[in-house]
Copies of this chain bind each other. A is one copy, B any other.
Amino acid sequence: MTQKTIIFIGIAICLLSFVFVSFLYIWLKKQNSGNAKIKSVGKLIKEGARTFLRKEYAVLAKFAAVAALVIFILLPSPVWNAGISDIFEKNLIMALAYIFGTLFSAIAGKIGIEIATNANVKTAEAAKKGIRESFLCGFRGGAVMGLAVVGSSLLGILLLFLITGNTTMLLGFSFGASSLALFAKAGGGIFTKTADISADITGKVELGIPEDDPRNPAVIADNVGDNVGDVAGMGADLFDSHVASIAAALVIASSLINSVTNITMIFCFAAIGLLCSIIGIFTSKMGKKGTPTGALNKNTYVTTGIFFILTALATWALNFSWRLWCASALGLVIGVVIGITTDYFTNDTKRPVRQVANASKTGPAFTILSGISYGFLSVLPAMVGIAVSALSAYYICAPLGEGYGMFGISVAAVGMLSIVAMIISNDAYGPIVDNARGLAEMGNLGEDVIEIADKLDSAGNTVKAITKGFAIGAAGLTVIALLGAFLSEINAAAALTGRSLISGFDVMNPLVFFGLLIGAAVPAVFSALQILGVDKNAQRMIAEIHRQFKEIDGLKEGKEGVCPDYAKCIEIATKGALKELIPAGLFAILSTMIVGFVGGVYAVGGFLVGNIISGLMLALFMSNSGGLWDNSKKYIESGNNGGKGSDAHKSAVVGDTVGDPFKDTAGPSINTQITVVSLVATLMGALFLAVSIF
């Protein structure tokens, strides 16, 4: 089969995924929406999410316009150096690729949000019929996001390659996706945690009312946050990783011998991954005796299994290298293994969560200290996992020829991310059932329904730990591959301009070490800016909630007909998030450029490595300690160590509050930060080579 045939088959699979998205949309539409109260609350959530997304996209559109202009002027080569035809054939296409990257990602986010904010209502109502029906609604709602993200990501890549035939342009597309993800993740993350923390502190801690009590003015904002942070933000994040892993692999592939076969193989494997996810999604259901957690995990294993078989068949039929197949399979297996080890640190049947819950009896300081300690410990297995998978993939593929070792790592990353549509489906299921639980509470659906919703919600949290570990592992391999792509691109530029080629980045070179030290500090600053954003914003919202409780008569007591001003809280969260979402991302991008123009490509190489190392470490630490605190709190709430209202519970709530921006704002954004920085470096590599102080 020719490369073109594979590309067309890939496009067909993408279109198929959209057919299924439409099918799921219609299916969900047909489900029952429940009583008037649920409908009205559901509408408030949908409106809030839409408003935020619209405003966020308006800010991002401005940023994207400026970025596109800068790209047009500077990339791939500055307009003052390029001929007129080059400007239109290369710079314009690069700028357009960038815009398409942002657009595709934004559209996927929009689709996901629209359906998730329908699915929450349907899931709550379906819980009346039973857990299996409710599960199906929640999962299929999430699946829309999964299919929309991967369908549009792959479609964009295939179309762009079909039109330009140039892998460098894919970096522009990838950068578009990344820069959108960077800000969408930060904005959504700040929104959701502002609302979550404020609702918890004023409701659970100060007043002792339940989680989704309609008296709490922040309760709708909290549910909106689940959608804009966990659905749209997370979707943008994985869109970005998916595109980046493929783009990195293609850039490296194009510098190798047999580039056509290698590129074809990447397209083929990516398309098979999407197909497997479609199959997995449509066969997924909760068995009569099953649990929601079991059903979600089964999805992952089934999809993984089908992927192995289909890619093996493709490798055999199309004569791809078996070594590369091994690398992709290895990537996927290690992704799952990292997910499982992550689970150890956040699962409430295991030692860490229990120990933190015990420490909470002595006070909040011990909750924090023990949680931070286990968070630090959790870094080791995942780092070893990434290290071993990169090393193995390299040595498996190195015998294929010069440069194939690094290509092996990029194939492992593609393998790890191949079933990402399924991972997103499992992940987006979480906020939908979380919303459904809130709706069941606010719509007075009764204890039985709330209990079902609780079970579904708890499965969402457990699975989230695994998918997060998976996502960080995948990002780790992807950015190592991007480092390879960076080197390929610089050397392509060096060859063009007659400079000597760069063989690598030796840490004994003081410029590399200089970059390493500064690059390592960037994720710390990036995280700090976001956490401070949440911190400031939550303090504003808490003040507003206190005001409402004080000034609105009968609100605290729950007098019939008295309603808090939900919209005001949504507005605070929106405004704050929009204000705080730019600085962190801009800092990351600008510091890369400063290091590049000061220290040149060697310093940037070191910068990227420092950024990857410290970024992975902080991302793992923050995601895992956050998940651990969350589950320790839940463990105590389920009646252990004194249960709800005990001193241990109060301490655990402090831990959970600290963990919230760790696990849902800063931690998961770091992935995107690393990817963006790697792409900025790769795109501007030729410029740094030409213009730098050292």
A interface residues, Cβ below 8 angstroms from B: 197, 201, 205, 359, 362-366, 368-370, 372-377, 379-380, 383-384, 386-388, 390-391, 394-395, 405-406, 409, 476, 480, 483-484, 487, 503-518, 520-521, 524-525, 527-529, 531-532, 534-535, 538-539, 542, 605-606, 609-610, 613-614, 616-617, 621, 653-654, 657-658, 661
CA distance A384 to B518 in the complex (A): 6
Chain B residues whose CB sits within 8 angstroms of the CB of A369 once the complex forms: 531, 534-535, 657-658, 661
Whether A365 pairs with B658 at a CB distance below 8 angstroms is yes
CA distance A618 to B492 in the complex (A): 37
CA distance A483 to B509 in the complex (A): 12
In this complex, what residue of B is CB-closest to A531?
Answer: B373
Whether A201 pairs with B363 at a CB distance below 8 angstroms is yes
Chain B residues whose CB sits within 8 angstroms of the CB of A386 once the complex forms: 517
Chain B residues whose CB sits within 8 angstroms of the CB of A657 once the complex forms: 363, 365, 369
Whether A617 pairs with B387 at a CB distance below 8 angstroms is no
Contact for A516 among B376, B524, B613, B661, CB less than 8 A: B613
Whether B507 pairs with A605 at a CB distance below 8 angstroms is yes
Whether A390 pairs with B513 at a CB distance below 8 angstroms is yes
In this complex, what residue of B is CB-closest to A409?
Answer: B510
Whether B539 pairs with A366 at a CB distance below 8 angstroms is yes
Known pairs A197-B365, A366-B539, A373-B529. 5 more at Cβ < 8 A?
A: A363-B657, A370-B531, A383-B520, A503-B506, A524-B617
Contact for A373 among B363, B390, B528, B613, CB less than 8 A: B528
Whether A524 pairs with B395 at a CB distance below 8 angstroms is no
Contact for A370 among B365, B525, B535, CB less than 8 A: B535
Chain B residues whose CB sits within 8 angstroms of the CB of A505 once the complex forms: 506-508
* A377-B525 CB under 8 A given contacts A369-B658, A613-B613, A654-B364: yes
Whether B363 pairs with A514 at a CB distance below 8 angstroms is no
Whether A372 pairs with B513 at a CB distance below 8 angstroms is no
10 residue pairs of the A-B complex, CB under 8 angstroms, read A362-B539, A362-B542, A369-B534, A372-B531, A373-B531, A374-B528, A390-B517, A505-B506, A506-B506, A507-B606
Whether B511 pairs with A391 at a CB distance below 8 angstroms is yes
Main secondary structure, interface of A, reads helix
Whether B520 pairs with A613 at a CB distance below 8 angstroms is yes
CA distance A521 to B517 in the complex (A): 16
Chain B residues whose CB sits within 8 angstroms of the CB of A480 once the complex forms: 513
Chain B residues whose CB sits within 8 angstroms of the CB of A606 once the complex forms: 507
* A521-B370 CB under 8 A given contacts A510-B391, A609-B507: no
CA distance A332 to B505 in the complex (A): 29
Whether B380 pairs with A517 at a CB distance below 8 angstroms is no
Rounded to whole Å, the gap between the CB of A213 and the closest CB of chain B is: 19
CA distance A621 to B542 in the complex (A): 28
Chain B residues whose CB sits within 8 angstroms of the CB of A201 once the complex forms: 362-363, 365
Chain B residues whose CB sits within 8 angstroms of the CB of A375 once the complex forms: 528
From A366, A370, A377, A517, name the one whose CB has the most chain B CB atoms within 10 angstroms: A517
Whether A390 pairs with B605 at a CB distance below 8 angstroms is no
Contact for A524 among B362, B380, B515, B527, CB less than 8 A: B380
Rounded to whole Å, the gap between the CB of A396 and the closest CB of chain B is: 11
Whether B504 pairs with A366 at a CB distance below 8 angstroms is no
Chain B residues whose CB sits within 8 angstroms of the CB of A516 once the complex forms: 609, 613
Rounded to whole Å, the gap between the CB of A485 and the closest CB of chain B is: 12
Rounded to whole Å, the gap between the CB of A424 and the closest CB of chain B is: 26
Chain B residues whose CB sits within 8 angstroms of the CB of A368 once the complex forms: 368, 654, 658
Chain B residues whose CB sits within 8 angstroms of the CB of A197 once the complex forms: 365
Rounded to whole Å, the gap between the CB of A580 and the closest CB of chain B is: 12
CA distance A206 to B527 in the complex (A): 34
Chain B residues whose CB sits within 8 angstroms of the CB of A359 once the complex forms: 535, 539
Chain B residues whose CB sits within 8 angstroms of the CB of A377 once the complex forms: 524-525, 528-529
CA distance A630 to B643 in the complex (A): 32
* A508-B487 CB under 8 A given contacts A368-B368, A379-B521, A610-B613: yes
Chain B residues whose CB sits within 8 angstroms of the CB of A609 once the complex forms: 507, 513, 516
Whether A390 pairs with B535 at a CB distance below 8 angstroms is no
CA distance A409 to B614 in the complex (A): 23
Chain B residues whose CB sits within 8 angstroms of the CB of A542 once the complex forms: 362
CA distance A505 to B512 in the complex (A): 11
Chain B residues whose CB sits within 8 angstroms of the CB of A610 once the complex forms: 613
Contact for A383 among B506, B521, B658, CB less than 8 A: B521
In this complex, what residue of B is CB-closest to A655?
Answer: B365
Rounded to whole Å, the gap between the CB of A215 and the closest CB of chain B is: 20
CA distance A503 to B506 in the complex (A): 9
Rounded to whole Å, the gap between the CB of A112 and the closest CB of chain B is: 29
CA distance A408 to B496 in the complex (A): 36
CA distance A616 to B508 in the complex (A): 18
* A527-B362 CB under 8 A given contacts A508-B505, A510-B395, A521-B384: no
CA distance A657 to B359 in the complex (A): 14
Chain B residues whose CB sits within 8 angstroms of the CB of A506 once the complex forms: 503-507
